[in-house]
Amino acid sequence: MNRSHRHGAGSGCLGTMEVKSKFGAEFRRFSLERSKPGKFEEFYGLLQHVHKIPNVDVLVGYADIHGDLLPINNDDNYHKAVSTANPLLRIFIQKKEEADYSAFGTDTLIKKKNVLTNVLRPDNHRKKPHIVISMPQDFRPVSSIIDVDILPETHRRVRLYKYGTEKPLGFYIRDGSSVRVTPHGLEKVPGIFISRLVPGGLAQSTGLLAVNDEVLEVNGIEVSGKSLDQVTDMMIANSRNLIITVRPANQRNNVVRNSRTSGSSGQSTDNSLLGSPQHIEPSCEPEDEDSDEDDIIIEDNGVPQQIPKAVPNTESLESLTQIELSFESGQNGFIPSNEVSLAPIASGSNTEFETHAPDQKLLEEDGTIITL
Amino acid sequence: MSFPEPARSYGAPGVEFMGLHRENNAVTQIHLLPGQCQLVTLLDDNSLHLWSLKVKGGASELQEDESFTLRGPPGAAPSATQITVVLPHSLCKLLYLGTESGNVFVVQLPAFRALEDRTISSDAVLQRLPEEARHRRVFEMVEALQEHPRDPNQILIGYSRGLVVIWDLQGSRVLYHFLSSQQLENIWWQRDGRLLVSCHSDGSYCQWPVSSDAQQPEPLRSLVPYGPFPCKAITKILWLTTRQGLPFTIFQGGMPRASYGDRHCISVIHDGQQTAFDFTSRVIDFTVLTEADPAAAFDDPYALVVLAEEELVVIDLQTAGWPPVQLPYLASLHCSAITCSHHVSNIPLKLWERIIAAGSQQNAHFSTMEWPIDGGTSLTPAPPQRDLLLTGHEDGTVRFWDASGVCLRLLYKLSTVRVFLTDTDPNENLSAQGEDEWPPLRKVGSFDPYSDDPRLGIQKIFLCKYSGYLAVAGTAGQVLVLELNDEAAEQAVEQVEADLLQDQEGYRWKGHERLAARSGPVRFEPGFQPFVLVQCQPPAVVTSLALHSEWRLVAFGTSHGFGLFDHQQRRQVFVKCTLHPSDQLALEGPLSRVKSLKKSLRQSFRRMRRSRVSSRKRRPAGTPGEVQEGSAKTERPGLQNMELAPVQRKIEARSAEDSFTGFVRTLYFADTYLRDSSRHCPSLWAGTNGGTIYAFSLRVPPAERRMDEPVRAEQAKEIQLMHRAPVVGILVLDGHSVPLPEPLEVAHDLSKSPDMQGSHQLLVVSEEQFKVFTLPKVSAKLKLKLTALEGSRVRRVSVAHFGSRRAEDYGEHHLAVLTNLGDIQVVSLPLLKPQVRYSCIRREDVSGIASCVFTKYGQGFYLISPSEFERFSLSTKWLVEPRCLVDSAETKNHRPGNGAGPKKVPSRARNSGTQSDGEEKQPGLVMERALLSDERVLKEIQSTLEGDRGSLNWHSHRAAMGRSLSNGGAE
């Protein structure tokens, strides 16, 4: 095979592919026919041959397009390696007895090859890698637990992010009663409870809500004294950014969180358990406040556009009534038709938004403290 | 589901009082106390309540003074004290209470002190009867109690088994006794006290002379008026003497059991004439207005007042043919069920007069008699303006009510039925019976809940008060444009079909067919006459309607789309389909709701099954053997709870695929800057159930070429609210943030021209949010998220002008909002700040909330029962409330001949002596069972406000509203 090695380097585009193999400090270069790579067994033999290590058991790995070190140990991943290599297939060979398994995947940014875990599962001395899953732009949060430090440990405030109609929120609420401590002693009071989670729905997939959790607040507004229909309407009205404060039916999980919060209490203002706050929070903040404000306008049967926000009226800011400015999010707003580009005016309003958003959030939180 | 029961009293037009019982019990009897300005009510819990009209601050108020429950000796059966008859005695403020046990108890007013020594027990009566009449069986319950017309010391007691005695109160003895073979229903004592007329359960009545000559075992005369076949009971009878000699015999019931047993009749017999007035609902009670002077020799009746379950009917007994009298109040609003209402404020005098003129020609069959009930004096100032309330009805009629003052008065009735071919031809009316028909039935009253064809129902009304153009739209997609014409006319109605589905294919409408219109000219009576009929296809119910009389355009919308029609050129301008392709429900029509009913049935069965399964599981779980089952149960404690809770609500964001998203909720015409900020143009706006707003720019040719060039329309904007809540209101604010005026308002110099210099703003009200956008470039400016904050949804929204009480010419426009919780809120314009909130309608009262209409001046109406509108006011300036005075006995003496001539005295001649003192009070209340004893009506009635604040507190409450409003700057 190495007979065509010189030639192949120059004509990689003509069906052959250059392979650069490294064992220890030694490199070997050769080429393979891209269309007919053959079987892994043959390739393994070829590697032993070119490196002149015929009886040594080795682990074969290659660098994928992202620069991750991935193993080659069967026909499938061998073919994958060949087909994705461009222009060069870089092979790394380790002796099996001295192999550093943790080398595999350490550079991995996208963890999608379960082959990796298949190979490495038996070995437990692998150092637990720091979880950096992906670039924030590739991911979006579906839920988070917020305000851990300001809520009683028996409560949990869950934020559900609803994007478009891809996944239903998927839960039901019902009337019920709960026992409260009141100035007059224990008292049975009516309450609203989660009655059902739809399999595959957003609520279920978060694992943060469960049947029989008592709903205490919806987006910072207490539900006590409100009817089931009112709470239903409030939740639906907030469905694009629903923040539910519940008293979980299962209080066992609270103990863990309690110890953690007590350690960090007073330090963190946003103790999000999922993901890293500094990555996720900025990207979703505009979404939080006004995700449902991305009304669409079609002018003269043209292309749908998001409605921009007009220059805010300062008068309305002063009032503590229920008036909010309509902050039009420009960055991560839900745009039903994905190809729609943002109106340039939206970026201008974003700066406006960011200056006000924290205030608003604080207000909300203050309200929470009072009500609790 | 019961509420505190109001007692109401009515006198002259504008004179009315309401009192609210604290108890949640039905009122079964009301009695006026002669000459006291007081009345006693009996509730179905056997409690008595004393009310009096007290003058406070120049106006009378109805107040409850005392209440009382009759108690027998310990251990007595409850029936011993169950009150059947109440007789207010003319002397000494005594109440005689007849009971089921046959005893008559006496209590003294006003404190309801029981006078036990005066009790007339059945045993005492029995002992004082002559030997031959002494049968135990003659007693049983007291059916009738009457005071002697001339001698207050004699009362008559009638027992249900047929014994009637005249009892001497002073001597405690039986003066006379009469024994009938039939069960007694009621009894009447002739004015001179010499004749008794008793009526019986077999449909007969008997006359008994009262004379000391000899005890007559047999009646003078016994008659079964509708015999010889078995008849129903005559439950009440009146025998009234006249100057001319021949008496009036008026009785209730007595109809032949087999053929007319289901009729509700009152028969009047006089001078060879006999008429059985046939009512469409059960007769609760009736009375006759007669000569009031107790000294007069004759009754001389002049009006028959009948309270039926659904309406009040007054019949003129002086005019030949006994015509009915038109009601100045308490008209039957629901003679056909109300399907919609529309309020127009401040009607120009010219239009007002023309409507009244058209209406007066319809009322030719009414008596010319002045309204005979004239108690009290209305102190309410004349209304400052003329307001019309239009109600649409299930039978295809529109009724025009004078809503300017306290009473709703019917002005004119428009019927759209003549435009269509219906199954029942009005000419084939079988009510015109031959002369010799027996019994001589005659239909009276207007209550007729049966609609020939539900498709005729009126759903939307729009009246232009300046031009007299009226648009009405109905259940089967019909839209009529009408014009007021003072003359009768025979004209053909131009018919146009509006195909709202356009090219959408594969849809099959499974609902009702459209109405078949009459071809050729149709004769229309003076009034509003239709000239254009647009029929939507598919013929779904019209859900929104707008008329622009200046541009001569009418816009209409259904669940499928909307269209614009040029009624000047009689040409369709455009139609727009708003349907979402996945919206099966809208496509198939109302029939497909059957499916969802099936589905819900299925679900409830499933729930039942599930709960049965879980209950089966629960039982063995307790036994020690079933450890596994038990532990499984403790792991899922929720399952059990879930089964117990029958109601759960799905939490899901709305999507474009939801049903009825295309349903057009609101249409609005505006002259504004739709495309660019340099030129304004006419525009049409439509809002749908799915949160979409469509804006069309219109080109209306100038007046001189109006007939030559077509009106053109082009879609200019489409806005999709991402929260997708139904759009319930669209409004454009001018450069000064003032709502644009109505069409022709400026032309009639009744409004300032809108400011066209500054930039206009678009206000969109959805069920969940209020949003202000800039125009012509649509950018979001302000919003108020109502539902997210309160969990309430907007049901009705309207611009209201709040005038200042201090400065005559100052006022502000704000939004009056009704939520699904029954709250009324005021939201400021243009900043959308919530100002005040009041509970108004009970949140469970869905039909009350659905029926609410706002006026342009901060008032509103809603139905508190199918037949009654309640009026409320948010305005400090515009208040309509009854304010009236009833002279008490003391002040009465100063005005003997003042207006209330002897002929007009409404009180029935049932009381002698001081009866004239009572004449100024409300005769409706003399009736023993008032309107409010009707169960169905009662259930609908509720207090005006939350809790049991009565109408008397209403005033102060509104004052509070006024203060709060002033914060909003409306002073």
The answer to whether residue A114 sits within a structural domain is no
The CA distance from B544 to B559, in Å, is 10
pTM of the model: 0.73
Q: Considering only CB atoms, which chain B residues are within 8 Å of A319?
A: 831, 833
Which B positions 637-676 lie with beta carbon below 8 A of chain A?
637-638, 641-642, 645, 647-657, 675
The answer to whether residue A124 sits within a structural domain is no
The answer to whether residue A121 sits within a structural domain is no
Q: Is B773 on the interface with A (CB under 8 A)?
A: yes
Other Cβ atoms within 10 Å of B620 Cβ, number: 12
Q: Considering only CB atoms, which chain A residues are within 8 Å of B784?
A: 322-324
pLDDT tens per residue, range B28-47? 888 888 777 888 999 988 99
* Residue with the larger pLDDT of the pair B227 and A233: A233
Inter-chain residue contact A310 with B781, CB threshold 8 Å: yes
Confidence of residue B905 (pLDDT cuts 50, 70, 90): very low
Q: Considering only CB atoms, which chain B residues are within 8 Å of A300?
A: 675, 715-717
Residue A33 shares a structural domain with residue A97: yes
Residue A155 shares a structural domain with residue A240: yes
Nearest CA in chain A to B784: A323
CA B942 vs. chain centroid, Å, equals 12
Average pLDDT, chain B: 81
Inter-chain residue contact B788 with A219, CB threshold 8 Å: yes
> In residues, how long is chain B?
971
Inter-chain residue contact B651 with A165, CB threshold 8 Å: no
Give the torsion sign (CA, B920, B922, B924, B929): negative
State the number of CA atoms in the 13 A half-sphere of B424 facing the CB: 11
Residue that terminates a domain, selected from A251, A271, A293: A251
The CA distance from A293 to A289, in Å, is 9
The CA distance from B49 to B604, in Å, is 46
Inter-chain residue contact B638 with A296, CB threshold 8 Å: no
Residue A148 shares a structural domain with residue A75: no
Where does residue A128 fall: left (phi above 0), alpha (psi -120 to 50 degrees), or beta otherwise?
A: beta
Residue A153 shares a structural domain with residue A84: no
Inter-chain residue contact A321 with B833, CB threshold 8 Å: yes
Nearest to B377 by CA among B20, B911, B17, B41: B17
Inter-chain residue contact A219 with B722, CB threshold 8 Å: no
The CA distance from B196 to B211, in Å, is 11
Other Cβ atoms within 10 Å of B362 Cβ, number: 17
Instruction: Choose, out of A326, A328, A342, A363, the residue to mutate when testing the contact with B (most B CBs < 10 Å).
Output: A326
Which B positions 783-802 lie with beta carbon below 8 A of chain A?
783-793
The answer to whether residue A70 sits within a structural domain is yes
Question: Minimum mean pLDDT among B133-137, B333-337, B893-897, B905-909: which range?
Answer: B905-909
Inter-chain residue contact A233 with B791, CB threshold 8 Å: yes
pLDDT computed for residue A256 by the predictor:
52
One pLDDT digit (tens) per residue for chain A, 372 residues: 444 444 434 444 457 788 888 888 888 888 888 888 888 888 888 888 888 888 888 888 888 877 778 888 888 888 888 888 777 888 888 887 776 666 665 444 344 444 444 444 444 444 454 555 555 545 666 778 888 888 888 889 998 887 655 678 889 999 988 888 878 888 888 899 999 998 888 888 888 899 999 999 999 899 988 999 999 999 988 888 899 999 998 877 664 544 444 433 333 333 333 333 333 333 333 334 444 467 888 887 788 888 888 765 444 334 333 333 333 333 343 333 333 333 333 333 333 333 333 333 333 333 222 222
The token pair at B676 is 């660019």
The CA distance from B481 to B547, in Å, is 9
Residue A97 shares a structural domain with residue A145: no
pLDDT computed for residue B888 by the predictor:
61
Helix (H) or strand (E) holding B471: strand B469-474
E-strand stretches of chain A: 16-23, 26-33, 58-63, 69-72, 88-95, 143-146, 156-161, 171-182, 185-197, 214-218, 221-222, 241-247, 296-299, 305-306, 323-325
Inter-chain residue contact B781 with A326, CB threshold 8 Å: yes
Inter-chain residue contact B649 with A228, CB threshold 8 Å: yes
The answer to whether residue A259 sits within a structural domain is no
Single-letter amino acid code for the residue at B565? F
Q: Look at residue B663 and give its three-state secondary structure.
A: coil
Where does residue A105 fall: left (phi above 0), alpha (psi -120 to 50 degrees), or beta otherwise?
A: left
Domain carrying residue A156: 141-251
The CA distance from B340 to B333, in Å, is 12
Average pLDDT over residues B313-334: 90
- Compute the C-alpha angle B492/B495/B497, nearest 5°: 175
pLDDT tens per residue, range B414-473? 999 999 987 655 544 444 445 567 888 999 888 887 777 889 999 999 999 999 999 999
The answer to whether residue A119 sits within a structural domain is no
Average pLDDT over residues B661-667: 92
pLDDT computed for residue A293 by the predictor:
61
pLDDT computed for residue B138 by the predictor:
59
Paired residues of B173 in beta bridges = B168
pLDDT tens per residue, range B113-129? 888 888 898 888 888 88
Per DSSP, B688 falls in state E
Per DSSP, B117 falls in state G
Q: Please give, rounded to a whole number of angstroms, the shortest distance from the CA of B830 to a CA of chain A.
A: 11
Residue A246 shares a structural domain with residue A147: yes
Give the torsion sign (CA, B803, B806, B808, B810): negative
Give the torsion sign (CA, A182, A187, A190, A194): positive
Paired residues of B391 in beta bridges = B341, B399
Q: Look at residue B638 and give its three-state secondary structure.
A: helix
Over 80: is that where the pLDDT of B96 sits?
A: yes
The CA distance from B108 to B94, in Å, is 5
Residue A154 shares a structural domain with residue A246: yes
The answer to whether residue A60 sits within a structural domain is yes
The CA distance from B904 to B881, in Å, is 26
The answer to whether residue A88 sits within a structural domain is yes
Over 90: is that where the pLDDT of B358 sits?
A: yes
Here the ipTM equals 0.71
Q: Please give, rounded to a whole number of angstroms, the shortest distance from the CA of A252 to a CA of chain B.
A: 13
Question: What strand order describes the sheet that includes B83-88?
Answer: B83-88, B94-99, B104-108, B113-114
Residue that terminates a domain, selected from A217, A251, A285: A251
Q: How many domains does chain A have?
A: 2
Over 90: is that where the pLDDT of B719 sits?
A: yes
Residue A93 shares a structural domain with residue A172: no
Paired residues of B471 in beta bridges = B462, B481
The CA distance from A59 to B252, in Å, is 110
The token pair at A181 is 């401590």
Residue A97 shares a structural domain with residue A166: no
pLDDT computed for residue B733 by the predictor:
94
pLDDT tens per residue, range B14-30? 788 888 888 888 888 88
Identify the CATH number of the domain in which residue A71 sits.
Answer: 3.10.20.90
**Helical residues (DSSP H) of B321-406, grouped into ranges:** 349-362
Over 70: is that where the pLDDT of B244 sits?
A: yes
Inter-chain residue contact A235 with B651, CB threshold 8 Å: yes
pLDDT tens per residue, range B70-80? 887 777 777 78
Q: Considering only CB atoms, which chain A residues are within 8 Å of B637?
A: 212, 249
Inter-chain residue contact B780 with A328, CB threshold 8 Å: yes
Q: Please give, rounded to a whole number of angstroms, the shortest distance from the CA of B722 to a CA of chain A.
A: 5
Residues with Cβ within 8 Å of B114's Cβ and at least 6 positions away in sequence, in order, are: B70, B105, B106, B107, B108
The CA distance from B719 to B674, in Å, is 13
Inter-chain residue contact A308 with B719, CB threshold 8 Å: no
Q: Considering only CB atoms, which chain B residues are within 8 Å of A322?
A: 784-786, 789, 834
pLDDT computed for residue B375 by the predictor:
81
Paired residues of B577 in beta bridges = B561
Average pLDDT over residues B695-703: 94
The CA distance from B470 to B481, in Å, is 6
Residue A36 shares a structural domain with residue A89: yes
Nearest to B492 by CA among B544, B418, B432: B418
Average pLDDT over residues B746-755: 80
Single-letter amino acid code for the residue at B804? S
* Residue with the larger pLDDT of the pair B764 and B56: B764
Identify the CATH number of the domain in which residue A211 sits.
Answer: 2.30.42.10
Residues with Cβ within 8 Å of B632's Cβ and at least 6 positions away in sequence, in order, are: none
Instruction: Choose, out of B574, B722, B769, B843, the residue to mutate when testing the contact with A (most A CBs < 10 Å).
Output: B722
Over 70: is that where the pLDDT of B588 sits?
A: no
Nearest to B606 by CA among B632, B640, B639, B643: B643
Q: Look at residue B526 and give its three-state secondary structure.
A: coil
Question: Minimum mean pLDDT among A170-179, B170-179, B868-877, B943-952: which range?
Answer: B943-952
CB A195 within 8 A of CB A174: yes
Inter-chain residue contact A300 with B715, CB threshold 8 Å: yes
The CA distance from B725 to A218, in Å, is 19
Over 70: is that where the pLDDT of B964 sits?
A: no
Average pLDDT over residues B243-253: 92
> In residues, how long is chain A?
372
Nearest to B552 by CA among B420, B749, B698, B674: B698
Inter-chain residue contact A297 with B778, CB threshold 8 Å: yes
Residue in the structure block whose two tokens are 């999709």: B720
Residues with Cβ within 8 Å of B846's Cβ and at least 6 positions away in sequence, in order, are: none
Q: Is B771 on the interface with A (CB under 8 A)?
A: yes
Q: Considering only CB atoms, which chain A residues are within 8 Å of B730?
A: none
CB-neighbour burial class of residue B43 (10 A; exposed 0-12, middle 13-18, buried 19+): buried
